[in-house]
Structure 1
Amino acid sequence: MATNDLLDFVKLRNAHEPEFLQAVEEVALSVLPALEKHADLRKLKIIERITEPERLISFRVTWLDDKGETQINRGYRVQMNSAIGPYKGGLRFHPSVNQSVLKFLAFEQIFKNALTGVPMGGGKGGSDFDPKGKSENEIMKFCQAFMSELARHIGHRLDVPAGDIGVGGREIGYLFGAYKKIRNEFTGVLTGKGIGWGGSLVRPEATGYGLVYFAENMLQTKKESLKNKVCLVSGSGNVAQYAIEKLIQLGAKVVTASDSNGYVYDEAGFTVEKLAFLMDLKNNKRGRIKEYAEKFKNVVYKDIDDKADHNPLWSIKADCAFPCATQNEVNEKDANNLVKNGVKLLGEGSNMPTTPEAINVLIDNGIMYAPGKASNAGGVATSGLEMTQNFMGTNWTRQEVDAKLVDIMKNIHETCLAAAAAYGKPGNYMHGANIAGFLKVARAMQAQGVI
């Protein structure tokens, strides 16, 4: 099947799922050189099979709010591919959650997990429940109701969910408690658990840290480093926070952070003390980024207009950019602004934050571009390390886990470059990541037969 025929096939079967179709198109176009070289994989229709979930579970979640009123949400789990290990991928609680978003995330997760070297398949799940504005009791009630259905579909050698947007340590705790109650067993069925009850050190930091480790590897190919580089970061959640922390540790100057309302520009740069304020503001007080500008002198705050054709955050002069907020947050105009203002590297901290048109602008202008399935794989890699520790009944030290994370990100970087070079796209991390991840999963599917 030619690439155009494949895309038509997927579009016909997945109409009205734009996020999923966008993710499939990127991978399909990238792996074309590999499919041309390996006729056996084309014959087996591997790529067509990968685009179809092995299982897609949708369920009703009903719960009582603090007023005693019945609330109804939708819950999902997309078990996309288990060729190389149990399904692995986060749970997202956000009003934007729907089947298309979760299928795109699960599809991306297949290749991201394959790149880590840890035996994990791809999955994703969540709900259109919004934790914002809910009481602790309401969040607990929802998590318990959600797990009452999800529990029958997951297991520590079947499907191991983790956190994502709207699902942090608090929610993982409630979900794990409900699972343990329902199944009457203590297993590593969720990752992102607390340190005292099965969690791994460095797991909260891993996605942000891994992103920065990957970027440092990229710069080292040019005999450069992050030291003294001016960096733009979007978002202010877990990934953004720990990306900022590691950038500060490596001597970079981070000048921005954002949330859904707006962004701050701190020309002097974030410090350890300023980051501590941001973490407390977001993690404990559940406040808005505007309060950061009110706290510190000479910080500019600007609202973000969702209807505008660009995000002014990406118009600030800098060396590196790290989108860590949400999908499609960097569009073609943003990419042109990044090029105009001297950015030399963009590393994706969130999943698919850069539109296809923007990616083309970056690559055509020689910007080093790291796709999320490679650069933000540190989180799921460390989730895999948490699974391993749970299987073994042991705990590694912070230094041991961080050293393993450094090695994993270095190996992913080398794998991407090697695959890109082998298939005629030298230096192209997007093609390298897609081809390397695809081939690993494809060979496993080929070995296991048509099932």
Structure 2
Amino acid sequence: MNNIDEKLRPILAEVARRNAGEPEFHQAVHEVMESLGRVVAKHPDYLEQALIERICEPERQIIFRIPWVDDQGNVQINRGFRVQFNSSLGPYKGGMRFHPSVNLGIIKFLGFEQTFKNALSGLPIGGGKGGTDFDPKNKSDGEIMRFCQSLMIELHRHLGEQTDVPAGDIGVGGREIGYMFGQYKRLTNRYESGVFTGKDIAYGGSRARTEATGFGNTYFTKAMLETRQTDFDGKRVVVSGAGNVAIHTIEKVQSFGGTVIACSDSSGYIIDEAGIDLALLQEVKSVRRERISEYARLRGNGVRFVPVGKGSVWDLPCDVAMPSATQNELTGKDAKTLVKNGVLAVGEGANMPCTPEAIRILREAGILFGPGKAANAGGVATSALEMQQNASRDRWSFEQTEQRLAQIMKSIHDRCAETADEYGAPGDYVLGANIAGFVRVAKAMRMLGVI
């Protein structure tokens, strides 16, 4: 706690005590607290009315059983979570994650981060997150449908377009959103298209929503590079992951003239020095749902597959690194390697993909670092635009939506940079993002009274 202001240490200690066994949540709170010493020194009134303590405590935590029947007729049981973290700025907004690693601590960390990310967007949305330890891999469409329908039997009573609006996350794409929304519609007898985002275009989805997180991270990272009079053109880029965020990060980086030489999945990573063939990657991962080694086999031309445990994708020399897989994937060792190899910028496409040690090393080395709560806010920003279209019974073009996304990401970048300057840390996007997000939420909470 040495890097935490002494006035904030008791608050952090109490968070750790009350949330035992939740290291990811502790990590997320600690990371924000590191930035708040400058805020309370300048504005000591933020220490009043237990304001910071209330920001660290979810408004509501929902845990429930999800029974479902597999294709063999066996009853399976999973656990579901929805953490409605903060609604001071608007309805709870945040994705649903389907992954075996999901537990309450992970969902709370994601909801806490989401609160500040949504605040940074400048849009009227609060923070929440949900998920389940269900693993969608190797499940049939029928199994996934039955699971989603069972999940919604409990969850639907906590949702609403003015209450809580879920979206997708790891393991949850258009298929899962469709099954959940369909069951919600059936159970409530209402067509509230704004109650879910990430929907298919056919029933109220927004164009550019699928691309938004990856595109947004690329826009943010490009804005960081421009502060040093450069951009993606001619740069070697490494992207971790091979899901939705990674694929669309690769697409936008390529459109800006960068060469993405590697990406990964849970089985390992591929090296394609000529640049990732995006169409082939989408065929392998999004359509056929194969392991990434299949890309190397089909691509040929000297493309190599490196299995997990035989090295890290971050060992590859690159100008820009964009971790887009999962939390804590880029370690302190990886960060040292990136710095040694001359990396210029790191943009977090996933939620908290860099460990605290990695972030410290990158910041101390003067590397441009875009924290996830700012750099990957494009997904939730476009979700809010989807809610706006649903509310007005309207539908925007892809170009119109992407233009708004680009404007939002530029404004988030500028807000972080200006806040860092204001608090005496020019170029520190971590501090800028944490303080800008915190101040917006804290001001609203103070005005709403002790609730």
Asked if these proteins are the same fold (TM beyond 0.5), I'd say yes
Pick from 67, 70, 75 the counterpart of residue 72 of structure 2.
67
1:136-147 alignment runs, 5 A limit: 136-147=141-152
Once residues 384 and 80 of structure 2 are traced to their aligned partners in structure 1, the CA distance between those partners, rounded to angstroms, is 24
* Equivalent residue, structure 2, for 1:193: 199
- The residue aligned with 1:288 is 291
| Rounded Cα–Cα distance in structure 1 between residues aligned with 2:399 and 2:287 | 27
Which structure 2 residues correspond to residues 236-247 of structure 1 after superposition, within 5 A? 236-247=242-253
Aligned-residue offset at 1:190: 0.3
- Provide the rounded CA distance (Å) in 2 between the counterparts of 1:283 and 1:317: 27
- Distance in 2 between the 1:237 and 1:32 partners? 37
- Given the alignment of the two structures, is residue 122 of structure 1 paired with residue 122 of structure 2, yes or no? no
For 1:276 and 1:206, the matched residues in 2 are separated by 18
Three-state SS of the structure 2 residue aligned to 1:96 is: coil
Cα deviation, 1:338-387, whole Å, max 9, x if unaligned, reads 00111110000000000111111001111100000000000000000000
Q: How far, CA to CA, are the matches of 2:63 and 2:241 in structure 1?
A: 29
- For 1:210, the aligned partner's letter is G
State the partner residue of 1:262.
Answer: 268
Could you give the per-residue CA deviations for residues 91-143 of structure 1, whole angstroms, max 9, x where no partner exists? 00000000000000000000000001110000000100000011110000000
Question: What residue number does 2:377 align with?
Answer: 377
**Cα shift at 1:196:** 1.5
Percent of residue pairs bearing the same amino acid type = 55
Q: CA deviation at 1:46?
A: 1.6
| 1:41 aligned residue | 46
Structure 1 residue matching 2:318: 3-state secondary structure? coil
Q: Does 1:78 align with 2:78?
A: no
Displacement of 1:57 after TM fit?
0.2
Matched, 1:314 2:322: no
SS of structure 1 residue aligned to 2:435: helix
Matched residues in 2 for 1:388 and 1:82: separation? 18
Matched, 1:168 2:173: yes
- Secondary structure of the equivalent of 1:389? helix
The CA distance in 2 between the partners of 1:146 and 1:185, in whole Å, is 18
Which whole-Å CA distance do the structure 2 matches of 1:43 and 1:215 have between them?
36
Q: Is residue 336 of structure 2 the alignment partner of residue 333 of structure 1?
A: no
Aligned-residue offset at 1:253: 0.3
CA distance, structure 2, for counterparts of residue 395 and residue 35 of structure 1: 43
- For the aligned residue pairs, the C-alpha RMSD in angstroms reads 0.9
Give the count of matched residue pairs. Answer: 444
| Paired residue type of 2:182 | G
* Alpha-carbon distance in structure 2 between the residues aligned to 1:97 and 1:276: 31
Alpha-carbon distance in 1 for matches of 2:30, 2:328 = 15
The answer for unaligned runs of 5 or more in structure 1 is none
1:312 deviation in Å? 2.2
How many angstroms does 1:230 deviate by? 0.4
**Which residue in the other structure is 1:439 paired with?**
439
User: Aligned AA for 2:307?
Assistant: D
CA distance in 1, matches of 2:396, 2:326: 31
* Unpaired stretches in structure 2, ≥5 consecutive residues: 1-5
Structure 1 outlier segments of 4+, above 4 Å = none
After TM superposition, the structure 1 = structure 2 runs for residues 139-158 of structure 1, keeping only pairs within 5 Å, are: 139-158=144-163
Within the candidate set 296, 302, 309, 1:298 is matched to 302
Tell me if the contact between 1:3 and 1:29 (Cα under 8 Å) persists in the aligned partners. no
Q: 2:107 aligns with which of 102, 115, 140?
A: 102
Matched position secondary structure for 1:351? coil
Question: Quick one: distance in 2 between partners of 1:281 and 1:180?
Answer: 33
1:50-69 residue CA offsets vs partner (Å, 9 max, x unmatched)? 11110000000001111111
Equivalent position of 2:221 in the other structure: 215
CA distance in 2, matches of 1:391, 1:31: 36
Task: Name the SS for the 2:195 alignment partner.
Answer: coil
Residue identity in the other structure for 1:264: I
Q: Report the TM-score when normalising by structure 2.
A: 0.97
Summarize the alignment of residues 415-430 of structure 1 with structure 2, pairs less than 5 Å apart: 415-430=415-430
SS of the residue aligned with 1:33? helix
How far apart are 1:45 and its partner, in Å?
A: 2.0
Q: For residue 37 of structure 1, report the CA deviation from its aligned partner.
A: 1.2
- 1:203 paired residue number: 209
Mapping of 1:176-187 within 5 angstroms? 176-187=181-192
Query: Distance between the aligned counterparts of 2:214 and 2:258, measured in 1?
Result: 14
Give the structure-1-normalised TM-score: 0.97
